[in-house]
């Protein structure tokens, strides 16, 4: 009997990261981290809706493998978000959202329009997504919501104050969602990347000195690739993280573990 139980446990562990029979919606799947997240979820058995404002980009992502379906979605349109959640032929088990924007300016130079633009996409759209998809998950008694915060949620940098504020706000909002939806079986977590080579960071990457300065800040001494965030998404979407909620998972190459750098004299 003990041998049988052990065999059953091993078999269960072998399926720990599998997502067969589950439906995931990835918002921002047209490029970067969103695209890699969609591909990774599909590779583990999920049917994945690749949602993006740019339908051409979403379609390109969906063409990269089986189980991927493109969907045009502008998350700044709250009614469109509600329709996406309510009008799906199959309920969503997993929601991942990566869409974000940044305006690099000091606070004193920010305009009200720029402030509203960053807050609208980074925070208000996230609020709409969590409410729209979280409601259905709570009614069905389960689901996993995964938002993308940033190292800027805990470590600020001059010129990124509004971006940092939205990411810190997102963490607290999703922690609250974890507390409120937990009794209904819904888990809510955030992934916090460090510096990732994506369209959002192209401005930095285009300046060699700036790019190298960012790379040298982490323990691993380099920028991450978008695909290096995909494992965290699969983990948080799967039963491997069945008792993980209200957490922020840092995938930052050790950036937030380091306070300064010292090279001993030779």
How many whole angstroms separate alpha carbon 146 and alpha carbon 125? Answer: 14
Residues 6+ apart with CB under 8 A from 55: 70, 71, 72
Q: What share of the chain is helix, strand, coil (3-state, %, to 5)?
A: 50, 15, 35
Kindly list the distances between the CA atom of residue 153 and the CA atoms of 88, 133, 220, in Å, as whole numbers in the listed order: 32, 24, 20
Secondary structure (H, E, C), 176-209: HHHHHHHHHCEEEEEEEECCECCHHHHHHHCCHH
Answer whether 27's CB lies under 8 Å from 99's CB: yes
Q: Whole-angstrom distance between the N-terminal and C-terminal Cα of the chain?
A: 62
Active-site option among 71, 163, 214, 235? 163
DSSP string, 58-117: HHHHHTTSTTEEEEE--TT-HHHHHHHHHS-SS--SEEEE---------GGG--HHHHHH
Confirm whether 163 is a catalytic residue.
yes
Q: Tell me which residues are annotated as active site.
A: 163
């Amino acid at each position: 009997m003990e041998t049988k139980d052990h065999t059953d446990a091993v078999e269960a562990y072998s399926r720990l990261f599998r997502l067969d029979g589950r439906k995931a919606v990835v918002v921002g799947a047209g490029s970067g981290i969103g695209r890699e997240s969609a591909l990774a979820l599909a590779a583990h058995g999920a049917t994945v809706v690749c949602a993006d404002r740019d339908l051409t980009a979403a379609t390109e992502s969906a063409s990269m493998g089986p189980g991927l379906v493109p969907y045009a979605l502008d998350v700044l349109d709250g009614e469109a978000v509600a329709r996406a959640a309510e009008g799906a032929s199959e309920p969503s088990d997993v929601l991942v959202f990566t869409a974000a924007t940044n305006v690099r300016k000091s606070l004193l130079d920010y305009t009200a329009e720029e402030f509203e633009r960053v807050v609208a996409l980074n925070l208000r759209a996230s609020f709409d997504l969590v409410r729209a998809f979280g409601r259905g998950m709570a009614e069905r008694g389960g689901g996993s919501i995964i938002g993308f915060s940033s190292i800027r949620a805990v470590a600020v940098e001059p010129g990124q104050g509004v971006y940092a504020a939205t990411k810190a706000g997102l963490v607290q909002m999703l922690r609250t969602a974890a507390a409120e939806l937990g009794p209904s079986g819904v888990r809510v977590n955030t992934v916090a990347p460090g510096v990732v080579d994506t369209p959002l960071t192209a401005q930095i990457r285009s300046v060699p000195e700036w790019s190298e300065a960012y790379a040298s800040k982490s323990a691993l001494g380099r920028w991450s690739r978008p695909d290096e965030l995909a494992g965290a998404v699969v983990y948080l979407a799967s039963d491997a993280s069945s008792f993980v909620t209200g957490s922020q998972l840092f995938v930052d190459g050790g950036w937030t573990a380091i306070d300064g750098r010292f090279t001993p004299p030779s």
